[in-house]
Structure formats: structure tokens, C-alpha cells
Amino acid sequence: MRKRGQRLLGLWLFVPLSVFGQIDPVPRDLVQIGYNQAFQGHTPLAGYAFYYHNQPDFLRTNLTLRLTVAPVYADSELGFVNGLGPNTDFGLGLAGGGFADGYNEIHGGTFYPSQSFAGNGAELSASLYHRFNPAARIPLNYILRGGAHDSFYTKNNDTAADFKLPPNHADLNLRTGLRWGGVEPTLFPPLAMELSVWYEGHLRSHPGHYGSQEDCTLEKQSHRFWAEAALAYTLPDSQQSFYVRLTSGTSLEADRLSAYRLGGFLPLVSEFPLSLPGYYFQEISARQFVLCNANYLLPLDKGKRWSLDLNASTAIVDYLPGEGQPGNSLTGVGGGLLYYSRSRHLKVMLNYAYGIDALRAAGRGASSIGVLLQLDLGRLRNEQFSRPQPSLWRGWGNIFK
């Protein structure tokens, strides 16, 4: 009973560790929930549950507060609009809590609880956001973010007694990138586009070996480079919509804690979700990869409150050394039913996914089910006074104004 309770706690305490690429200019009060459950094999629970609050004009007209809260983890930033001059914003971030630095070992389609562990952490950060084209409709932003993160590791109930944990350490990290356009932090945005390139580096204070045989290495430093192209579009009359995302990344000196991890269908689990429907969450550890995600929504009723969702993802991966498996091409497909409330303050989707190339004990192929929910508390409060007419084009103005 204790083990089950700890695993359930781990699910609901998970919070996406992401800092969006610019100060969000739109007031938001969103509750986001996502969950995946695999049919085959013993798997770690995978999901997120968090509250996202964004408040422009916080205390003063040039301050914006962003706050993401889960039960024992919080990620926040206080943004100073034009704080470093015209078109250059500045942000100070604070994050910390339990479980977010943990690691689940999944190798060859099998989850190994004895080699998995929990991790807690805290971080201070500072960010710079500069817009190059203030007069243009589609923004081109430069982002520079530096942070200091402390990680502390503990064993789970199932971690092997002889398993040596990674050394607790401080991590000095830097992220920089160029982003043209952007995607709102919402479930299935109706209209968006993004082209971006990124670099992220980590320098750790206490590298070393860990594991049952001390055969795993926490590297002194690691470097990741990736690029992304994304497009979401909704037809004005039929309200059919599609969302396509292409992501490619490579790395230097990556280890298990800094490799790219692909798998699962949890679109808001991070700023750059690496989704593969039907696979375990973060099942694949890659040194480099190319990933294409496509999603299509087809309204089923006259009121456009029910939609059929079809999605597919395919990736070509170069596995992290020691985490490989036969075949470098991985594909997953899925489908689901999406429901919108009349005022669009609530979105709920139930979905089924099939990992075509997922490696399991019985061979290739694996199934999972999932649920995604978004509750827009701001829209719900406004509905008390006057029910708004939903506009598919509101998202475009929010992103690119």
C-alpha cells in the first residue's frame, strides 16, 4: 500500500519544468491535467497536474508574474517589461520542490524500478528577452537565460539496496535561442507558428559514477542544440484544425540525466514535448534525434463541441550509449475524442495510442490510453457576467501582438 501511495504521489506532484521563451503578455488562469497509462508491461506512472497563472500589470504596469504550481513544486518568474531598455525585458525566476529531478530507468522497453530514483531540487534564474522587430506582427525574440540549480537524490522504495545514487550537485546552466513567432501554453491552440533554434549547456559541481555497478556517469558538463518548426491552423468555416511540429536535436557529452527523452503523449509536460504516442513516457533516451508530430481535429457536431482527434508521430534516433535497442526508426499513432464546453472554458480529451515500433516482451507494438484536461478559470469567471463568443483567431493576436 505504501509503494502504491508513493507512486500516485509522484504522478500528481509532477510539474513541467519549463520557462517559456518570452514574457507572456496575456492574463491566464489555467488548470492542466494529463495522464497516460500503458496496457503492456510494468511502467512508471506518467502525467502532470498543475495550475498556471500569468498576471501582466502585477503591482505595476511593467511587471508580469508567471507562476506554475503543483502540490509540492512551484516554478515562478517576475518579469520586468522593458526592464533593460526599449524592447528588452528582464526576468527573475525561482523554482523548487520535490520529485522533479527524479529518474526512471527504461531500457529496451522494460522499466527497471531497481535502477530508478527520486530527486528534489531548487533553482534561481535570470532571463533576458529582446525583441528585434517591435513593429512586425510576428515577433523575433532573442532569449538568454542563466540559472543555478541544486539537485538532491533519494532512493524510492523499489530502488536496489546496492544502487549508488548520483552525487548531489549544483548545476550552472545556460539557455540561449532565437524564436520567430511562438505557441501559446494551452491545449491545442487554434492558430500559431514558430521557428526557433536553441542551445543549452550544463556545468555540474560534482560529477561522478553511480548505479549498481557504478557503470553510469554524471558528466561534468553537457551541451544540447536543437531547432523546432511548428504550425497550427484552423479553417474559419469548418473549424477543422491541424498542428504540425518538427523538432531536431543533437548533444555533446550527454548522460542519462541530460539526454533527450522521447515517449508518451503529454503535450504540456514541457516547453518542448517530445511525444511518441503509445510509448512509455520518456522511454527513449537519445543522443540526437529528428521527430515529427502531426495532430488533426475534425468537429463532429453542429455546435463544434465534439471533435475527433487523429495524431501520429515518427522519429529517427541515435540512442544514448548503453540505452540502445534494435532499429532507429520509431512511430506511434493515436486517436481520441475531444469535448469543449459551450463557453470553451473546459477542454477534455480521452485518447488511445499505439506505439508501432515500441519494444515489449511479446515483440513490437504497445497500447496506452490517456486523458487530457484544461480548465480556463479566467474564461469561466468572465462567463458569469457575459458569455463571450469564442473566436478562433484570438490565439493569433495573443501570440503575435
> Domain 2-400 adopts which CATH fold?
Porin (2.40.160)
Q: What is the C-alpha separation between 204 and 389, in angstroms, rounded?
A: 51
Instruction: Supply the pLDDT for residue 383.
Output: 57
| DSSP-assigned letters across all residues of 228-260 | EEEEEEE-TTT--EEEEEEEEEEEES--TTTSE
Cα 362 to Cα 13: distance, rounded to the nearest angstrom: 32
Question: CB-hemisphere CA count at 13 Å for 24?
Answer: 23
DSSP notation for 62-103: TEEEEEEEETTEEEEEEEETTBTBTTEEEEEEEEEESSTT-E
Q: What is d(CA 366, CA 351) in angstroms, rounded to the nearest whole number?
A: 14
How wide is the angle at C-alpha 308 spanned by C-alphas 303 and 311, nearest 5°? 145
Q: Which secondary structure element, helix H or strand E, spans residue 396, and what is its range?
A: helix 394-400
Cα angle value 119/124/128 (rounded, 5°):
130
pTM for the whole thing?
A: 0.89
Q: What angle do CA 115, 120, 123 make, to 5 degrees?
A: 135
Phi and psi at 317, nearest 5°, equal -125, 150
pLDDT score of 156:
93
* Integer Cα distance of 327 and 30 in angstroms: 40
**DSSP H or E segment with residue 121:** strand 110-131
| DSSP secondary structure code for residue 168 in this structure | P
Any residues with CB less than 8 A from the CB of 166 and at least 6 apart, and which?
A: 117, 151, 153, 208, 210, 216, 218, 257
- In angstroms, the CA 146 to CA 201 distance is 10
Q: What does the pLDDT read at residue 2? A: 42
Q: The C-alpha cell of 283 is what?
A: 522511454
Per the listing, cell 489555467 goes with 30
Domain chopping of the chain, boundaries? 2-400
Burial 296-320 (b: 16+ CB within 10 A, else e): bbebeeeebeebebebbbbbebebb
Using DSSP, state whether 273 is helix, strand or coil: coil
Model pLDDT for residues 298-317, shown as the tens digit of each residue: 999 999 999 999 999 999 99
Q: pLDDT value at position 100? A: 87
What's the grid cell of residue 187?
491545449
Number of other CB atoms surrounding residue 232 within 10 Å: 23
Q: What is the Cα–Cα distance from 45 to 281, expressed in whole angstroms?
A: 8
Burial class (CB in 10 A: 0-12, 13-18, 19+), 92: middle
Three-class DSSP category at 60: coil
pLDDT of residue 388: 35
DSSP codes of every residue in 294-348: EEEEEE-STTS-EEEEEEEEEEEEEEPTTS--S-SEEEEEEEEEEEE-TTS-EEE
Rounded Cα distance between 189 and 183, Å, is 7
Using CA atoms, how far apart are residues 17 and 66, in angstroms rounded to an integer? 13
Q: Which helix (H) or strand (E) holds 397?
A: helix 394-400
Which residue ranges in the chain fall short of pLDDT 50?
Answer: 1-19, 385-401
What is the reported pLDDT for 378?
87
**What distance in Å separates the CA atoms of residue 333 and residue 313, rounded to the nearest whole number?**
6
Closest CA to 378 of 364, 368, 388: 388
* R_g of the chain computed on alpha carbons: 21
Dmax (CA) for the chain in angstroms is: 64
